[in-house]
């Protein structure tokens, strides 16, 4: 497939996603060298553009220590190490690091846009994740022009507070100890740490080797770990029963009688011991936690125990709601972890111990407030 071309379906999906995701004001025309917070949090970030020699070790350490992190992938890395990229994106937020890792300040406007767009396309193809709104300039090389160009594509520049310099390797005079000392020497609220998934020219993987000690030392000093995405993301999507995001059998009937509905109408069905749910499709742009809401019109004839299945990253979770009350507003069902992709994430079941009509009206997926 031509890397510069996108299918109409992909273009439509990307445009729909862009409409519901925006940059924080503090990322427009500038960049972050630390997270915009006074909380004692640190964001570990990993650039993946050369090889994947340290990736397995890094992933194992993060999983064992239950540590969040953010990865910046090049499109070429996503193509060459697709299996690794998928594993990364299934657990952690990923950002765009261009397609081929050039110095963007030496390229034309069109070439800059091509590098960013090709990188995003390759990342989405390999991982199902949309890397917006996080972008990292190769070599940290940027200027006002290139920052404006990536802003125009829906990205903000995420720089770093400290570079561990582990990429220089042992032959460059670095060590596991020096990596840890550099991180701790710059420790501050909102610190962004730059590390790498690949090996140095001498074959050493100092960032991967130092990671267990780095995590322990950060936590020992009273800091928590977080992701860049938790602060940069402003994502929300609504799926209404009148849209293509909704599906149900003919047993679910439509109505517009109740004025507390969302949109033009809603669907309803009688309880039954059958597998016949009303489903809502939602797009998850990045792996992580999201708040899930439901909207229904209320009436005394509706169900006191409507069961909603939420398809999370760790399996199906059930939430019961009383649709007799609270109509005409969003209700928080909970905060759940999801993997990136587009699928039927919420289903209104017809199986319930309660009488009364079951209502399927609208659902909403949204990023939680920063730092939660």
Q: Token digits for 104?
A: 């963007």
Helix 206-220 to helix 55-64 angle (10° resolution) is: 20
Which residue among 97, 101, 196, 267 is the active-site one? 196
302, 307, 311, 317 alpha-carbon torsion, rounded to 10°: 140
CB count in 10 Å sphere of residue 300: 8
Which residue among 47, 240, 241, 361 is the active-site one? 47
User: On the CB side of 322, how many CA atoms lie within 13 Å of its CA?
Assistant: 5
Q: Both ends of the chain: CA-CA distance in Å?
A: 40
> In b/e form, how buried is each residue of 32-53, taking b as 16+ CB within 10 angstroms?
bebbeeeeebbbbbbbbbbbbb
Helix 176-185 to helix 206-220 angle (10° resolution) is: 40
Distances (CA, A) of 68 to 9, 78, 133, 163: 32, 20, 18, 18
47 part of the active site: yes
Which single residue is written with the structure tokens 């209404």? 240
Enzyme catalytic residues: 47, 196
């Amino acid at each position: 497939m031509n890397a510069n071309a996108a299918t109409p379906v992909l273009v439509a999906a990307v445009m729909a996603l862009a409409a519901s995701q925006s940059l924080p004001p503090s990322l427009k025309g500038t960049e972050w060298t630390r997270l915009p917070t006074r909380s004692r949090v640190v964001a570990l970030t990993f650039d993946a553009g050369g090889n994947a020699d340290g990736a397995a070790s890094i992933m194992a350490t993060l999983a064992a220590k239950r540590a969040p992190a953010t990865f910046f992938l090049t499109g070429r890395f996503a193509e060459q190490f697709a299996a690794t990229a998928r594993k990364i994106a299934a657990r952690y937020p990923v950002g765009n690091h261009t397609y081929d890792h050039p110095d963007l300040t030496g390229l034309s406007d069109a070439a800059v846009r091509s590098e960013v767009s090709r990188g995003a396309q390759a990342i989405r193809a390999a991982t199902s994740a949309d890397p917006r709104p996080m972008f990292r300039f190769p070599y940290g090389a940027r200027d006002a022009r290139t920052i404006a160009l990536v802003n125009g594509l829906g990205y903000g520049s995420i720089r770093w507070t400290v570079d561990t310099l582990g990429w220089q390797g042992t032959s460059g005079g670095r060590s596991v100890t020096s990596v840890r000392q550099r991180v701790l020497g710059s420790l501050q609220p909102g610190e962004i740490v730059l590390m790498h998934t690949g090996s140095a020219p001498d074959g050493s993987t100092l960032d991967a080797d130092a990671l267990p000690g780095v995590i322990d030392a950060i936590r020992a000093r009273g800091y928590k770990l977080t992701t860049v995405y938790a602060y940069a993301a402003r994502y929300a999507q609504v799926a209404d029963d009148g849209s293509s995001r909704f599906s149900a059998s003919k047993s679910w009937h439509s109505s517009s009688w109740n004025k507390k509905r969302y949109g033009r109408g809603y669907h309803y069905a009688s309880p039954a011991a059958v597998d016949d749910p009303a489903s809502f499709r939602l797009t998850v742009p990045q792996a992580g936690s999201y708040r899930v809401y439901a909207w229904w019109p209320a009436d005394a004839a509706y169900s006191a125990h409507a069961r909603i299945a939420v398809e999370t990253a760790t399996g199906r979770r059930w939430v019961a709601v009383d649709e007799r009350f609270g109509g005409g507003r969003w209700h928080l069902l909970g905060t759940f972890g999801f993997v990136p992709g587009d699928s039927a994430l919420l289903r209104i079941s017809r199986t319930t111990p309660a009488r009364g009509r079951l209502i399927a009206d609208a659902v909403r997926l949204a990023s939680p407030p920063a730092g939660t």
